[in-house]
Amino acid sequence: QEQLVESGGGLVQAGDSLRISCAASGRTFSRYAMGWFRQAPGKEREFVATISWSGSGTYYANSVKGRFTISRDNAKNTVYLQMNSLKPEDTAVYYCAAKEGRSSGSYYLASWNYDYWGQGTQVTVSS
């Protein structure tokens, strides 16, 4: 059982950077692929980025590719999302999710793959 807690959200201006974190409490975090998703008001939850449990595999949504970087520190049971060149359209609640990976390089894009979810952290980008 994994419990996930996001942190680091806040209000920033367009062009700024922000790093959000997701801390996991389970003992098997190093075997979980992790994902970041976001949901803006009135919109469906959408995929942002994912990383395999080894960190060797990553994948990004086109809308954030080149601006966002997902990383993890298995010793700290934490996954990060570094967000640069933020835009007002990045405003959303950001959720992290975990799924036991099939292999060290496996990652997952679809939300239905994930078994555990955090409560979310608000990121607001003003223009």
Cβ contact 100:108 at 8 Å:
no
pLDDT computed for residue 1 by the predictor:
78
For residue 91, pLDDT over 90 is answered with yes
Q: What is the average pLDDT across 82-88?
A: 98
For residue 101, pLDDT over 90 is answered with no
Q: What is the average pLDDT across 79-97?
A: 98
Residue that is written with structure tokens 């003003």 in the block? 126
CA distance to 4, 17, 28, 104, 105, per residue, from 87 (Å): 26, 10, 35, 33, 30
Q: What is the average pLDDT across 70-86?
A: 97
Q: What is the average pLDDT across 14-23?
A: 98
Average pLDDT, the chain: 96
pLDDT computed for residue 28 by the predictor:
85
Percent of the chain with pLDDT over 90: 90
pLDDT in tens, 28-69: 888 999 999 999 999 999 999 999 999 999 999 999 999 999
How many angstroms from the chain centroid is the CA of residue 69? 9
Q: Which CB contacts under 8 angstroms, 24+ apart, belong to 57-62?
A: 57/105, 57/106, 57/107, 58/107, 59/107, 59/109
How many angstroms from the chain centroid is the CA of residue 68? 10
